[in-house]
């Protein structure tokens, strides 16, 4: 299979994701985060936050909350077992609090291959805005895909 670079510039359908309190607690349990600001409103306010903030990388739980999940894999026509995460970068512009609904829009910004086409690299950017339309973050991701043909060998 050849990497289909026509996807560069492709924009996926925007969707809304809400930062749910229970999801944030489970996320914190998984990463071993015990700071009460992420679960207790009084603790968050005592620390100077107007509400319960979400951990820095909880943004991934929001971008994963896509009702058409797996759109990139479908567009590439590859199985999820063939992908690895190459890089992830967040630029934070404004806080995200529990209860906030964030509009996420992912766009493919670059694609290239390495090792004679055995590995594909797909760069995407997801803009994240709150209900007021204010950007809260930009998520930049590099997904590495093992070429299905090369992976068979």
Partner 1 sequence: MVAAPKFDQVKVGDEITPIVLPPISRHQLALYCGGSGDHNPIHVDLDFAKKFGFKDVFAHGMLSMGFLGRLVTSYAPRDRIRKLGTRFTAITWVGDVITLSGKVTAKREEGGEKLIDLEVRCTNQNGQDTLQGHATVAAN
Nearer Cβ to partner 1, position 6 or 61? 61
C-beta separation of 53 from 137 below 8 A: no
Nearer Cβ to partner 1, position 64 or 131? 64
Minimum distance, C-beta of residue 6 to partner 1, in the bound complex (Å): 25
Minimum distance, C-beta of residue 86 to partner 1, in the bound complex (Å): 6
Catalog residues that contact partner 1 under the rule CB under 8 A.
Answer: 23, 26-33, 35, 37, 46-49, 53, 55-57, 60-61, 64-65, 69, 79-92, 95, 140, 151
Nearer Cβ to partner 1, position 6 or 52? 52
Minimum distance, C-beta of residue 27 to partner 1, in the bound complex (Å): 4
Distances (CA, A) of 50 to 45, 47, 96, 106: 6, 9, 11, 29
Nearer Cβ to partner 1, position 60 or 127? 60
C-beta separation of 45 from 11 below 8 A: no
β-pair type (101-114, 83-92): unpaired
Q: How is residue 129 written in tokens?
A: 């805005």
Cα dihedral angle (71, 143, 109, 126), rounded to 10 degrees?
60
């Amino acid at each position: 299979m050849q990497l289909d670079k026509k996807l560069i510039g492709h924009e996926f359908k925007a969707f809304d994701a809400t930062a749910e309190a229970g999801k944030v607690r489970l996320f914190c349990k998984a990463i071993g985060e015990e700071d009460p600001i992420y679960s207790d409103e009084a603790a968050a306010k005592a620390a100077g936050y107007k509400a319960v903030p979400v951990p820095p990388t909880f943004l991934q739980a929001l971008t994963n909350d896509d009702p058409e999940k797996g759109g990139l894999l479908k567009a590439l026509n590859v199985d999820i077992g063939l992908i690895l995460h190459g890089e992830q970068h967040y630029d934070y512009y404004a806080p995200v609090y529990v209860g906030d609904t964030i509009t996420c829009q992912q766009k493919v910004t670059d694609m290239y291959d390495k090792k004679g086409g055995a590995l594909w690299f797909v760069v995407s950017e997801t803009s994240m805005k709150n209900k007021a339309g204010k950007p809260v973050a930009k998520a930049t991701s590099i997904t590495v895909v093992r070429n299905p043909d090369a992976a068979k060998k």
